[in-house]
Structure 1
Amino acid sequence: MKNILVTIDFDGKEQILLDKAYQFASVFNSKVWIMHIAAPDPDFVGYSVGPQYIRDSRAEELRNEHRILQDFSRTLNERGVETDALLVDGATIEMIMKEAEKLNADLIITGHNDHGFFYKAFIGSTSEQIIAKSKIPVLLVPLDR
């Protein structure tokens, strides 16, 4: 197992996923790729970005997310695991599959939150969609602790 792709969402539970990635990477001497998929650019979803302050705000948000990812990466590197961070935008499931293939990932680690019926009916479960589309083994880490 040479490459592990960890998908994180800035929901305050990232450390659980990063710890799990560290455990696997330490045992298998794997490289860890920490990936966050940023909210799509308003143009991507069909809305105009509007005035300059909106573009500036979006740019600052992306810079902050990138800094956080770099900090996570630096921490794992300091613990002896080769790690890189990826900040991408686009459709979540498609980007995870695309990046996993591009990186030759041997394992995808993602979190799983147990949502209620209405959430699943209208939004769906990202983790279930990853399992359904992935040809790569997926490790679901429960985040509802």
Structure 2
Amino acid sequence: MKNILLPIDFKGNEQLLLDKAYEIGEKFDSKVWLIHVAAPNPDFIGYDAGPQSIRDSRAEELREEHKQIQGFARSLNRKGLEADALLIQGTTVDTLIEKTEKLNIDLVIIGRQTHGIFYKAIFGSVADSLVKKTKVPILIVPLD
């Protein structure tokens, strides 16, 4: 197992996922690819980008997320595990599937929280969609 993909969503539960990725990555001498898939730009999905202040705010949010995910990769590197961080804009599931193929990912470690039926109907589940759409093994870590 050479490459592990670890999607990060910045919901405050990253440490549990980082610990699990470290535990498995260390045992198999794997490289961990941390990835955050940010929402695509509004013009990409057919909406106007909005006033400059909104674009500036979004750019600052992306810079902050990039700094955070880079920090997570550095913390794994300091522990002796090879890790790289990616921040990519796009649709979450399609982008993750594309990266599993492009990076030759052997395992995806993803967190999953329990949500009500209303939430699932509106937003769905990234973990469920990945299980259905990829052939790469997935380790689902409960975050509740």
2:79 maps to 79
For residues 34 and 73 of structure 1, the distance between their equivalents in structure 2, rounded to whole angstroms, comes to 7
Question: How many angstroms does 1:122 deviate by?
Answer: 2.4
Q: Does 1:8 align with 2:8?
A: yes
With 39-48 and 134-143 compared, the bigger mean Cα shift is at 39-48
**Residue-by-residue CA offset, 1:41-74 (whole Å, 9 max, x unaligned):** 1112211112222221111111101000110000
Identify which range, 42-51 or 14-23, moves more after superposition: 42-51
Aligned partner letter, 1:101 = E
Corresponding residue pairs, total: 144
CA–CA distance in structure 2, aligned partners of residues 54 and 115 of structure 1: 30
Over the matched positions of the two proteins, sequence identity in percent amounts to 58
Q: TM-score by structure 1 length?
A: 0.96
- CA–CA distance in structure 1, aligned partners of residues 60 and 78 of structure 2: 27
TM-score, normalised by the number of residues in structure 2: 0.97
Distance in 2, matches of 1:86 and 1:9, equals: 12
| 51-60 vs 80-89, which moves further | 51-60
**CA distance in 2 between partners of 1:63 and 1:138 (Å):** 29
Ranges of 4+ aligned residues in structure 1 off by more than 4 Å: none
Stretches of structure 1 lacking an aligned partner (at least 5 in a row) = none
